[in-house]
Amino acid sequence: MNIYESKDIKNIAIVGSSESGKTTLSEAMLLEGEVINRRGTVEDKNTASDFHPVEHDYGYSVFPSVLYTEWKGKKLNFIDTPGSDDFVGGVISALNVADTGIMVLNSRNGMEVGTETLSRHAEKLNKPLIFAVNQLDHESANFIQTIEQAKETYKNKIVLIQYPVNVGEDFNQVVDVLKMEMYEWGPEGGKPKVLPIPDSEKEKANELHNALVESAAENDEALMELYFEKGSLTESEMREGIKKGLINRDMFPVFCISSLKDMCVRRLMEFIVNVCPSADEMPASITTEGEEIPYDSSLPTSLFVFNTTIEQHLGEINIFKVASGTLKEGDDLLNMTTNTKERISQLYQVAGKNRIKVSSLKAGDIGATVKLKNTKNNHTLNSKGANYQFNAIKYPEPKFRSAIKAVDEHEEEHLAEVMSRIQQEDPSIKVEYSKELKQTIVYGQGEFHINTLKWRIANNDKIDIELFSPRIPYRETITSMASANYRHKKQSGGSGQFGEVHLLIEPLYEGIPEPDTYHVNGKELKVKVREKEEVQLPWGGNLQFYNCIVGGVIDTRFMPAILKGIMEKMEEGPLTGSYARDIRVCIYDGKMHAVDSNEISFKLAGRHAFSDAFRNAKPKILEPVYDINILVPESKMGDVMSDLQTRRALILGMEANKGFQNLKAKIPLKEVDKYSTILSSITGGRATFNMAFSEYSPVNSDIQKELLEDYMANHSEED
């Protein structure tokens, strides 16, 4: 195949909600570019992009799929992305390397919540968008409503390039107001007849054409002057104005298509070739040092890996965008992330499951290689003379968590290796072993995301795994002062063990005065601080530890051992085994033995004294509370609020947002278990949410009692 210059390369991300027709559109584009000679279908499980076994089983996209076609002397790289919000990581990686996004709208559903979410990702990354209103041949298609909803979000930036003459099962005619022509298709779609605009449509077409001319002129002062001078613009001049509007996100052109019948796909591709910005017309890549690296094939070679997949018979495949220079087969590059050398032994152009060998790729192009040793997602590779490192792609915070373990304990090590590999393939999945919860926790974008992970492990790696609700990372603290003493004494022949510790504890809060006078066992106790140590706890909160010993009844050298014993008990709290926090401890008395006292004795004495005092200090269990922001259709608002109230959520407020409501609340983590699935069920999949940790808050007395009883039933008393 040809080697293309940066100016002739167009990188497109095809995005949209589930069932909007992205994969079908991709197939039509491949067919038009003659990369394939027969269109596959999702139903027949033979499309170029949905080729993974899990996608065949589910019937829709799970992974982003890189494809390409050649059209009218240009190379179009396009990435077919998943529509489910659970797989949004693939969309974000695609948008990061694309120069333009095609937002495919299902004309039956209009601007869905998923569409809104994807639009925000594109806006955050400052990517131009073209809207392709699809499925206009469906009996429930509603083009006018879809455009009205789009205008609620984008106002007058929505500009029609085309509109349909007949919507529904008889759809076969579109008026193009840029070219001022009408297209008509036969039953098989494909190449249309080009016809004059009929008299019945001329008034509407002229009105929309004038609106398009004005919108194009507004993006360039020279074009505006031409427009005022001539009263119109040529097609070439309009293209230039539209391109500038696209790049600046001041214009969102709209096309009308039926991807299933291949209607208007050719015209959309023609627009991409003629108008969409090429790689070298988009803003330069920015390094971690803030340096701008233009897409210039004459510079030293640099590439950014944005996707990694693993295939059974080929191994790891790294998919990348050439950020600068010209990449050649056989090039030696330095991985700036791992500081290791890599050789590009094989170089491919990607068309979904098919890969075509090429000898080189120039700046702005997308390609793949295999058998790199230490290269993963988000890594930058450079040739000699380049010292660039590009920013890693940022993925959304997880919305779903699950504990995971192998059914067969002997498979745990193998499972850990598989999970590490999957995390490399899909960085929106996070895996960690929680020392606190004593569980391996996997985090994802939703229950379906995690269930897909389970499917892959069971079917591809042949490991049976169990998914279950993870424990909640509670915290323990106290609400009043209490004192306790404990004598550890043990004699078993020879030197014994002896240590006695008297201490008091109290709640620690910001601005608390230094220790002074306390009432202990009906007597006034005045303490004198000799030493103070403040510990910032790894799990949040603080511990203040005071040595208030008078008269040397406990040697200073035993204080670290006492603190160690207290820290051990804070790490496994006295109530439920959860971490304890925000406590002040004063060691004010005790005893030691000239021969039998040692560090272990005082560590145990301190541990037990702290535990006894803790239980008498009106202890409270704290639970993690999260800020949650739910984007929900107005018609489902009442149902969502009613459900939140059953989950102990505190509603903070709501605000209208383009036909939806942004609902803000605080909700305990315990109540968010599987919430993504429940929210989808309540709203018919039309709502989405994000959440972030807010604070720890006391649980109510009923929940505290339940937690204490559960802990006592499953744990024996401390020795």
What's the pLDDT score for residue 316? 86
* Single-letter amino acid code for the residue at 384: K
β strands within 90-205, DSSP E: 100-106, 129-134, 158-160, 162-164, 173-176, 181-184, 193-195
This prediction has a pTM of: 0.86
| Interval 367-383 mean pLDDT | 94
Cα dihedral: 694, 700, 704, 707 (round 10)? -60
Distance CA 654, CA 630 (A): 9
C-alpha triplet 123, 124, 127: angle, nearest 5° = 50
Q: Is residue 1 predicted with pLDDT exceeding 70?
A: no
| Interval 451-467 mean pLDDT | 94
| Interval 355-364 mean pLDDT | 94
Q: Is residue 527 predicted with pLDDT exceeding 70?
A: yes
* Single-letter amino acid code for the residue at 396: P
CB 176 within 8 A of CB 205: no
Token code pair at residue 635: 């018609």
One CATH from 3.40.630.10, 2.40.30.10, 3.20.10.10, 3.60.70.12 for 285-382: 2.40.30.10
- Asked if the 622-703 domain carries CATH number 3.40.50.720, the reply is no
pLDDT digits (tens, 9 = 90+) for 529-540: 999 999 999 999
CA distances from 547 to 246, 515, 528, 534, 687 (A): 68, 11, 8, 12, 55
What's the pLDDT score for residue 635? 87
- Asked if the 8-193+249-281 domain carries CATH number 2.60.120.10, the reply is no
Distance CA 431, CA 134 (A): 38
- Give all strands of the β-sheet with 9-16 in edge-to-edge order: 65-71, 74-80, 9-16, 100-106, 129-134, 252-256, 158-160
Residue 426 φ then ψ, to 5°? -130, 90
Token code pair at residue 702: 């009923």
Q: Give the chain's mean pLDDT.
A: 93
* Single-letter amino acid code for the residue at 614: F
What's the pLDDT score for residue 621? 97
| Interval 107-132 mean pLDDT | 90
Residues in the chain: 719
Distance CA 438, CA 492 (A): 35
Distance CA 162, CA 173 (A): 10
| Interval 110-127 mean pLDDT | 88
Longest CA–CA span in the chain (Å) reads 112
Q: Is beta strand 65-71 parallel, antiparallel or unpaired with respect to 74-80? A: antiparallel
Q: Is residue 48 predicted with pLDDT exceeding 80?
A: yes
pLDDT digits (tens, 9 = 90+) for 300-311: 999 999 999 877
| Interval 429-447 mean pLDDT | 93
- Judge residue 536's burial from the number of C-beta atoms within 10 Å of its C-beta, 0-12 exposed, 13-18 middle, 19 or more buried: exposed
pLDDT digits (tens, 9 = 90+) for 309-330: 877 677 789 999 999 999 999 9
What's the pLDDT score for residue 719? 40
Same fold, 285-382 and 622-703: no
The structural domains of the chain, with segments of one domain joined by +, span: 8-193+249-281, 285-382, 405-468, 476-617, 622-703
**CATH code of the region 476-617:** 3.30.230.10
Token code pair at residue 111: 């601007």
Tell me if residue 25 falls in helix, strand or coil.
helix
What's the pLDDT score for residue 633? 85
| Interval 200-215 mean pLDDT | 95
**CATH code of the region 405-468:** 3.30.70.870
CA distances from 342 to 104, 296, 331, 656 (A): 38, 22, 8, 52
Q: Is residue 406 predicted with pLDDT exceeding 80?
A: yes
Give the rounded percent of residues in the chain with a pLDDT score beyond 90. 78
pLDDT digits (tens, 9 = 90+) for 141-200: 999 999 999 998 888 999 999 999 999 999 999 999 999 999 999 988 889 999 999 999
- Judge residue 462's burial from the number of C-beta atoms within 10 Å of its C-beta, 0-12 exposed, 13-18 middle, 19 or more buried: exposed
